[in-house]
Amino acid sequence: MAKDLIIVESPAKVKTIKKFLGPGYMVQASVGHVRDLPTSSLGVDENNNFEPVYQVIDGKEKVVSSLREAAAKAAHIYLAPDPDREGEAIAWHVAELIKDVSKAPIQRIQFNEITAKAVKQALAQPRSLDRNLFDAQQARRVLDRLVGYKISPLLWKKVKRGISAGRVQSVALKLIVDREQERRVFIPVEYWNFRAFLEAGQPPVFRADLTKIDGKKAVIGNEEAALELEARLKGQPFIVESVQVKEREKTPPPPFITSTLQQNANQRLGYTAKRTMNIAQRLYEGLDLGEKGTTALITYMRTDSVRIADEARDAAREFIVATFGQDYYPAKPRYYKSKGGAQDAHEAIRPVDVTLTPESVKSFLTPEQFQLYRLIWNRFTASQMAGARVLDTTVLIDCAQTTWRSKGEQMLFPGFLTLTPQKNEDVEDLPPLKQGETLRLEKLEKEQKFTQPPPRYSEASLVRELEEQGIGRPSTYASIISTLQDREYVTLVEKTFVPTDLGAIVCQLLSAHFANLMDTGFTAQMENDLDTVAEGGRNWVELMKRFASEFYPTLSQAAKAMTMVKGGLPTGMPCPDCGKDTVIKFGKAGPFLACSGYPDCRFTSNFTRNAKGEIELLEKEKPNAEVVGACPDCGKDLVVKKSRTGSRFIACTGYPECTHAEPFSTGVPCPQCGKGEIVEKSSKRGKIFYSCNQYPQCDYALWDKPVPGPCPQCGSPLLVEKNTRSFKGIACPDKNCRYKKGSGDEEDEG
């Protein structure tokens, strides 16, 4: 008897769903997208209503063949990729690839959480493929392809080969570049803060901040004014002017949506948006929880809705009352309203089963999975709890016609803060105070300060800005940020984004010649137009025609008028060797300063920029004196050098006449092929790793530095050096072997 076929997006879901449905169903995965626009051509028929030309993605031929084979013998086919536009597009493309081999009905199902109940409900309520959702995704894909495929070659010609432009990424880049420019032109303004540390009849000593002078806002702009005020206050009494006590309720924030999860994970855990989404994907698809088997822990993590299902709200109520008591549940269930324009098809991100507390599943999760699940679980559970009740006390104090303020807070009932404590550094622990009471001054502090420029964007604040401006969608933020870094348009400095010179000039050129594309309002409106297509209110081809009517003439004009900077970006700085102008050039190893008089003058230098954006030359690194042998090509010394990304390598001191170079070997034989040696390498992001020098014939690689073995416990031919917060020493690289020797953790020497 023929079985029904369910096609999901991810292989990780296959095992989870098979557990629910048993042997009566075939479950296979498309492993993401199966068709896309070609990589070697535009793939869009611009003269035929922008008709896309799709092809099977390279490497997906076996997946497609397997899906077609299963479809040919299926009684009913259910397409179950993720419940969003990308998922709808995957379902649509799969249907196109299998419809000629099967006469079975092909229908779409979707579920917000991977549970037996949700999957069975979806199977009981299949629907047709949604052409509007597919068209919205198709329009976005074609728009992005036109922008990238048309503008990027122009940038190759004018700036540097291999760089790119993107419909949304370029606007995000502009936010970062504009913020940096604001910082460079910012002029600090001096001001002084005053704090009084006061003592009443009972402890503790508390702090009061100066707020007014002679009834007006306190503005102290220089040291002279600060000293005058200090003299005015000397010996004068501090008298309590008023004490205001007010009870206040703090309400919990809503459960996470994609953007707020990315922001919180970045702020609290230090995770990038990409890392957060990868971890969340695993929690959504399901993990092995021992006797429970493979179990999904959270609902779908690409959403901008704060809505939650009634049954989830009911389950939260039961858990909160049973765990914390009736007082910890509000008088009425909590409902949250999504922002305007939010797609309300999916719930907020929440635990599938609130009774699966983070601690109860901790032993089955990796540390990062546990941390993110705890963040999601705490936020959701807190969102359904009673508010915290606090007693706010505001004290105004008078001294010589100056007003000082101190704020205190007393917790009356913690409510949701039991799960998500908050720290308020502006709140003091106040003693009992009464109007007219004279206080003793223990200490008076004055502090010179300067106004600060607007802060650079962190991942969290950039995601928040993109969301507030309506640029992109939550599901795209991680890829936007990743692309900006991969293209070397921005770099991370102290966890904030700084535009590179390459990023700045690309932004400058695009802003000058593609003003609409770089406008946040235009980009946000395009997102709204795509939403309208998804809702069936607009034809995607008409949207494309309207966009193209302005884009093509702009592109043609830019090709003629865009400044050529490939020969170097003028700096206004004279060459220290010959006096001619220097220029910034963009090489494979990054930007560098060069003389415009090349080849007559060969001056080059690395450089940095100060806070004002001014160029400062860097002293050339002294040659590495570590000689490791003689060059086999010319006989000169071989020395150890460092690559741009941080790994060591061996090079001839006769460069550039002699170009001999070789990897830095650890001296440890490769345990996989037995022929090569393990050498030091580094990734594009600068992370050191170790791999066999016989690559690509041998693909053996590891992150930790190898040392000669064998492992005394399992016989592994090599060991590795470990240096973490909890352990420092050597360990076996085999995950099935727990051998360790060193300090920290529990040593296991077999």
**Residue 76: how many other CB atoms lie within 10 Å:** 17
Burial 659-673 (b: 16+ CB within 10 A, else e): eeeebbbbebbbbee
Token pair recorded at residue 37 = 């626009």
Closest CA to 627 of 665, 646, 653, 645: 653
**Cα–Cα dist 251/389, whole Å:** 9
Contact 277, 301 (CB under 8 A): yes
Burial 499-521 (b: 16+ CB within 10 A, else e): bbbbbbbbbebbbebbeebbebe
Do strands 569-574 and 25-29 pair parallel, antiparallel, or not at all (unpaired)? unpaired
**Residue 225: how many other CB atoms lie within 10 Å:** 15
Distance, CA of 661 to chain centre: 37
- Fill in the amino acid letter for 101: V
Task: Give the list of residues 6+ apart from residue 278 with CB closer than 8 angstroms, or none.
Answer: none
Is 300 one of the catalytic residues?
yes
Token pair recorded at residue 419 = 């799960």
**H helix intervals, 159-245:** 169-185, 223-233
Provide the Cα torsion 568, 570, 574, 575; round to 10°.
Answer: -10
Three-state SS at 638:
strand
- Segment (H or E) for 7: strand 4-8
Burial 555-568 (b: 16+ CB within 10 A, else e): beebeeebeebeeb
Asked if the peptide bond before residue 38 counts as cis, ω within 30 degrees of 0, the response is no
Contact 705, 666 (CB under 8 A): yes
Overall residue count recorded for the chain in this entry: 750
Contact 720, 731 (CB under 8 A): yes
**Cα–Cα dist 709/720, whole Å:** 9
* Helix (H), strand (E), coil (C) string for 676-745: CEEEEEECCCCCEEEEECCCCCCCCEECCCEEECCCCCCCCCEEEEEECCCCEEEECCCCCCCCEEEECC
Q: What is the distance in angstroms between the CA of the first residue and the CA of the last residue of the chain?
A: 53
C-alpha pair distances (Å), 420 with each of 180, 262, 312, 381, 387: 34, 17, 20, 10, 12
Task: Give the list of residues 6+ apart from residue 508 with CB closer than 8 angstroms, or none.
Answer: 177
Token pair recorded at residue 106 = 């092909």
Strands (E), 306-414: 388-399, 402-413
**Cα–Cα dist 367/458, whole Å:** 24
Distance, CA of 234 to chain centre: 52
Closest CA to 95 of 30, 12, 51: 30
- Segment (H or E) for 155: helix 131-158
Q: Which of 78, 300, 329, 373 is catalytic?
A: 300
- Fill in the amino acid letter for 303: T
Residue 476, classified by CB atoms within 10 Å of its CB into exposed (0-12), middle (13-18) or buried (19+), is buried
Closest CA to 27 of 38, 36, 35, 15: 15
- Fill in the amino acid letter for 15: K
Catalytic residues: 300
